Amino acid sequence: MDTKELLKKVRKIEIKTKRLSNHIFSGEYHSSFKGRGMTFSEVRQYQYGDDIRAIDWNVTARYNDTHIKVFEEERELTMVLMVDISGSEFFGTTEQFKRDTITEIAATLAFSATQNNDKVGLVLFSDNIELFIPPKKGKSHVLRIIRELIEFKPKSNKTNIGEALKYVSNVMKKKAIVFVLSDFMDTDYDHSLKILGNKHDVTGIRVYDKHDEEIPNLGMLPVKDAESGKVLLVNTMSKKVRNSYKANYLESLDYFEKSFSKSGSGAINTRIDESYVKKLLGYFKRKGA
């Protein structure tokens, strides 16, 4: 992709997603995540009506007078976007690929964070960490993130969500808002998710295509596995084959929903021909309630 075409794509996504974040998501994002963290501010003398759970017993003993710890709301938050760029994301049977929808959602979230003067970081992963951009503030930083989402070429087509979750657990020392964007065509990530969820506010956004759910009857069909590169001849006329295909899909969906639920993390499912706007808004409103 030449520079002119890339800048045109970045601008198109910026216009669409910034409008959404300015007029729709920034307020919901604010109410959903602001005030979740509290930082220590000072110690002062106890006053009638103060919460006794805030008493600082060490200072109280030292001065022989009751003192309490005062906390204030964290004004600055950090968002980390974990984006799956494995081969299966370059699949779509409607107007765009799954990766295109993921890019739009990630850009909308990034601009929403910027509206609140928060930092945004990016992790692109396949079966290894392809790129890490440390969290920073500002529009130019968000535009860099969008450019990488559009043009980055992964070295691997495979997926390992568990390893990516481990990486973020290790690299992010302070509490962050973490969004994992993927089709979640993977397993064995529940343990890593639980560890990440114990420290950070995690949400999984599963982006899928209608033909991820079931394969239509199209006769003998050559099908290429986007992650392995192998081409198989599949008899889609066979009901057994179609049922097996659907069963695999339902298994990965069930694993996704149970893993995020058990870890105490949020989960969103959105199909690429649906409005992700409604899905995100509904999620933010429930979370902020």
For the chain, the farthest-separated pair of C-alpha atoms sits apart, in whole angstroms, at 84
Whether pLDDT at 267 is above 80:
yes
The per-residue pLDDT for 208 is 93
Q: What are 77-120's pLDDT values in tens digits?
A: 899 999 999 877 655 555 678 899 999 999 999 988 888 888 99
* 210 within 8 A of 273, measured Cβ to Cβ: yes
Q: Locate the DSSP E strands across 144-230.
A: 177-182, 201-208, 220-224
Whether pLDDT at 131 is above 70:
yes
Whether pLDDT at 141 is above 90:
yes
Residues 84 and 169 in one domain: yes
Residues 118 and 208 in one domain: yes
Residues 114 and 185 in one domain: yes
Residues 83 and 197 in one domain: yes
Whether pLDDT at 74 is above 60:
no
CA dihedral (165, 169, 170, 171) positive or negative: positive
Residues 234 and 250 in one domain: yes
Percent of the chain with pLDDT over 90: 44
Q: How many domains does the chain have?
A: 2
Residues 234 and 245 in one domain: yes
Residues 66 and 165 in one domain: no
Question: Of 199, 137, 146, nearest to 168 (Cα)?
Answer: 199
- Domain residues for the domain of 61 are 38-73
Q: What are 183-201's pLDDT values in tens digits?
A: 999 999 999 999 999 999 9
Whether pLDDT at 214 is above 60:
yes
pLDDT band of 25, cuts 50, 70, 90: low
Token digits for 31?
A: 């109410």
Maximum mean pLDDT: which of 44-48, 96-100, 151-155, 283-287: 151-155
3-class state of residue 52 by DSSP: helix
Residues 13 and 149 in one domain: yes
Residues 222 and 119 in one domain: yes
Q: Mark which of 47, 73, 99 sits at the end of a domain.
A: 73
Residue 195: how many other CB atoms lie within 10 Å: 15
* 217 within 8 A of 242, measured Cβ to Cβ: yes
Residues 86 and 229 in one domain: yes
The per-residue pLDDT for 286 is 84
Residues 259 and 135 in one domain: yes
* 267 within 8 A of 198, measured Cβ to Cβ: no
Token digits for 84?
A: 């799956």
Residues 52 and 63 in one domain: yes
- CATH code of the domain containing 140: 3.40.50.410
Q: Locate the DSSP E strands across 148-287.
A: 177-182, 201-208, 220-224, 231-235, 266-271
Percent of the chain with pLDDT over 70: 85
Token digits for 43?
A: 């110690």
